[in-house]
Structure 1
Amino acid sequence: MILLDVIFYSFVVVVSIQVVYYGVLFGSFSFKEEKTSKQKSSPISVLVCAKNEAKNLKQFLPSIINQSYKDFEIVLINDASIDDTLEVMEGFAKKHNNIKIVNVKNIEAFWANKKYALTLGIKAAKHDHLLFTDADCKPVSNHWISEMASHFTNENTIVLGYGAYNKIKNSFLNKLIRYETLLTAIQYFSFAKLGTPFMGVGRNLAYNRDEFFKTNGFIKHIDIRSGDDDLFINEAANSKNTSICCTRDSFTTSNPKTTFNQWFRQKRRHISTADNYKFKHKALLALFYISQVLFWTLLTILLINQSYWQFALSLLAFRLIIQYLSIGFSAKKLNEIDVLYLLPLLELFLIGFQLTIFITNLISKPKYWK
C-alpha cells in the first residue's frame, strides 16, 4: 500500500510537470498572437543544397524562382551528385540570371559532408541575408521570401520558420510524422519565445552571414554528419538575435516518408545531434520526454491496481485538457489541426518510436546525410 501511495504522489508530480510544459512553456507560443512584421526589401540569397535531387529540383525549384520578391538570388549547391542534378541546375541557370551554381566535389577530409557543401555555398552567396531550404521543399506561397525576410532587423539576425509535410489521406504514418513535426516546432518556437532558442529546421531557416562567421561556421561540429541547422542554431542563437516566423505564407512543405523504415532512418540522423545541444536544452527536453513516459506508466499502474483510480482519471482528464488546448492552438497556427483527432494514440506511438531510435543510436551512429 505504501508503494502505491508513492506511485500516486509521483504521478501527481509528473502531471504537474506536464502541465507546466504544455500550459506555460509551450503556451508561450500556443496562446499568444504573433505580431505582423513590416515587409522589407533587403536583398537576400536563397540557398538550396542538393545531393542527387534532379527530380525534386525540376518539380520544386520553379516555386522559388517565381517568388514575388524584389531582389534575390538563388544559390544552388550541387553536393557531389551522381545523377543529373548538375545538368538540371545548369538548365535553370541558363533561363534565369539570378541563379548561381556552386558545384562541390568530394574531398577526402569532408567526404559526403553537407556542412562542407553549405559552407562553400554561403561563401559564394552575394547577399548578407541568407534563406535556406531543401531541394525537396516547396514554399506554400510566392510570398515565402517576403515573410521570412520581414523578420530581419538590426537585432534579429536569425529567423526560425516552419517546414511542414504534405498530408496523405487515411495514413496513420503520415499523421504520426506530422504530429512529430508539429510537436518539434512547438518546442523550438516556444523556447525561442522564452529567450532560449535551441534549434531550427533547414527546410525553412534564415540567418545573416555575419552570424555564420561569428561562430566559425560549422567547425565545432563539422565531424557530425547532421546538424547544419539545429546544431548551428543551438550555438549561434540567443534571446536577442532570434525571431520566429509562423505566418501561413511563410511555410514550406515537402513530401514525407511513406514507410516506417524510411522515416526511422531519417529520424535517426535528426535525433543523433541532440546529444550535442547545450546542457540546459538537453535537460529541458529530457525532462519533458521522461515525464511523458512516467505519466503513462504510472497511470497504467494506478488503473490496473484500482488504487486512487478516481483521482488518477481526474488528473488524466485535466492533463489532456491542457494538452489539447496547447497543441490545438499551435496546430491551428501551423495548419495541422487534423492530428488532434488521434492525439493520445499519436503521443504513445511517438514515445515508443523515439525510445527505439535512442537505443539504436546508442549501438551505432548514422553516418551520412544522404
Structure 2
Amino acid sequence: MAFLDVIFYIFIVVVGIQILFYLFIFSKLAFFKQQEQTKTNISVSVIICAKNEAENLKTFLPSIISQAYSNFEIVLINDASSDNTLDVMEHFADTNKNIKIVNVENYETFWGNKKFALTMGIKAASHEHLLFTDADCKPASKHWISEMVSHFNTPKNIVLGYGKYKTKNKSFLNKVIRYETLITAIHYFSFAKIGLPYMGVGRNLAYTKTDFFKVNGFANHMKIKSGDDDLFINQIANKTNTAICITPNSFTISVPKLKFKHWYKQKRRHVSTAKYYKSKHKILLGLNYLAQFLFWVLFILLSAFLFNWELVVSLFVLKLITQYIIVYKSAKTLQEKGLIGLLPFLEIFLIIVQLTIFINNLISKPNYWK
C-alpha cells in the first residue's frame, strides 16, 4: 500500500474521532439547558487567596462585598505578599464586618505554595460551603453568589462555574486567551455532564469544607506547585457529586495577560498538572489533542499532493461544520460568540503553543504561582 494511501486512511480515522468527540461529548454543553434552581440562603464563605494583589483588591473586592446575598463572609488570604496587600485587606476589614483576614507568612517547607495558604484560609472559614475566586476577578453580576450556591444540594457538593476574560478589541492575544478559555470550559463542562468531571477553575469554583478535609485537602499533591483547583477536583469529583453553573449571572470576569510571555508562563504552570490526572481523563484528553494535531498535519500533507482531494476536502468540511455548530452554540451560552470567525486560526495557534509547552515542560519545570 502506497504511503499516501496509509495517510489517507489515518486521516479518515482522525476525522471520525474528532466528530465523535464533538457529537457525543462536547455537544453536552452545546445543547445543555440550565434549569432554574431554587434560591437558597445557606451560609457561604467566599475565599480569595492573594499574593501581591493590592491594586486588584482595591478594584475588584468591592464587587464581592456588594453581592446581593445576605449570609456570607469573605475570607481574604494574604499569601506572604511583599507589597501592601495586607494593608488593603485590613482597610476593607475595618469597614466590613463580614471580612476575615488570614495572614500567611513564608514557611520553609511550603514556600511559594498557594495550596498551603489556601488550606489555612479554608481552616479559618466559618461556613461549610466554600466559594472560590481570585483577587483579579469581578463577578458578572450581584447575583454571583446566589447563582453558584443554588446548585448545592444532595448529593451535589461541587459546583463548576465559568471564569471568562475581559474582551480587548484588536488584540490577537486577547482572542487567543479567550478562545483557549472557551475550549477548556467546553471540555470540563461537557466531561462533567457525561459523568467524567476532571477539573474546575479557581476563578469560579465551589465545594464543601467537609469534602476538602475528607481527603486531607491538598495532601496528595501538596508538593506540586499548581493544581489547587484542577488536581483537587480531579481527585474528588464524580458523576454524582458535581454540578455545573453556566448562567450569565454566575460568571466571573478577569483581566487577561497583556503580553504573550506572561500568558505563556501561566499556561506552562496550568498544563504541568495534566500529567497527574486520572488515567481515563489523560487518555481521553490526549486522544482529543492528538486527533486535533493529526487532522491539520494530515490535511495539509494530503492537500499538498492533491491526493483524493475531493474526498479529503469533503471530510475536512464535514469536521469543520460539526465543530462550528458545537463551538458556536457553546460560545453563545458562555457569551463568547465574537471568537467563532477566527476558529481555524485560533485552533492551529493553540495546537502549536500546547505542543511547545509540552516540550518545554519536559525540559524544565515551570515556576511558582507568583
CA distance in 2, matches of 1:103, 1:307: 65
Q: Percent identity?
A: 61
Residue by residue, what CA displacement relative to the aligned partner does 1:239-272 show, whole Å, maximum 9, x if unpaired? 0100000000000011101111111000001000
- 1:79-98 correspondence runs (5 A): 79-98=79-98
By how many angstroms is 1:154 displaced?
A: 1.8
CA distance in 1, matches of 2:315, 2:259: 36
Partner of 2:369: 369
Partner of 1:44: 44
The one-letter code of the counterpart of 2:236 is A
The one-letter code of the counterpart of 2:363 is I
Residue by residue, what CA displacement relative to the aligned partner does 1:50-78 show, whole Å, maximum 9, x if unpaired? 00000000000000000000100000000
Match of 1:26, SS state, is helix
Partner of 1:133: 133
TM-score, scaled to structure 1: 0.99
CA distance in 2, matches of 1:23, 1:250: 26
Partner of 1:246: 246
CA distance in 2, matches of 1:28, 1:268: 28
Partner of 2:271: 271
By how many angstroms is 1:46 displaced?
A: 0.1
CA distance in 1, matches of 2:352, 2:366: 19
8 A contact 1:164–1:181 mirrored in 2: yes
CA distance in 1, matches of 2:83, 2:367: 21
Match of 2:70, SS state, is coil
Partner of 1:169: 169
- 1:148-227 correspondence runs (5 A): 148-227=148-227
By how many angstroms is 1:146 displaced?
A: 0.3
Partner of 2:58: 58
Partner of 2:146: 146
By how many angstroms is 1:195 displaced?
A: 0.5
8 A contact 1:331–1:337 mirrored in 2: yes
Partner of 1:117: 117
CA distance in 1, matches of 2:78, 2:353: 33
CA distance in 2, matches of 1:300, 1:81: 49
By how many angstroms is 1:367 displaced?
A: 3.0
The one-letter code of the counterpart of 1:87 is D
CA distance in 2, matches of 1:147, 1:40: 9
The one-letter code of the counterpart of 1:93 is A
CA distance in 1, matches of 2:360, 2:17: 28
Q: Is 1:74 aligned with 2:71?
A: no
Partner of 2:237: 237
The one-letter code of the counterpart of 2:10 is S
Partner of 1:22: 22
Partner of 1:284: 284
8 A contact 1:112–1:369 mirrored in 2: yes
8 A contact 1:23–1:323 mirrored in 2: no
Q: Is 1:338 aligned with 2:338?
A: yes
Match of 2:35, SS state, is coil
Partner of 1:101: 101
CA distance in 2, matches of 1:6, 1:360: 31
By how many angstroms is 1:38 displaced?
A: 1.2
Match of 2:368, SS state, is coil
CA distance in 2, matches of 1:103, 1:123: 13
Residue by residue, what CA displacement relative to the aligned partner does 1:125-182 show, whole Å, maximum 9, x if unpaired? 0000000000000001000000000000020000000000000001111101100000
Q: Which runs of 5+ in 1 are unaligned?
A: none
By how many angstroms is 1:215 displaced?
A: 1.2
Q: Is 1:303 aligned with 2:312?
A: no
The one-letter code of the counterpart of 1:359 is I
Equivalent residue pairs, number: 370
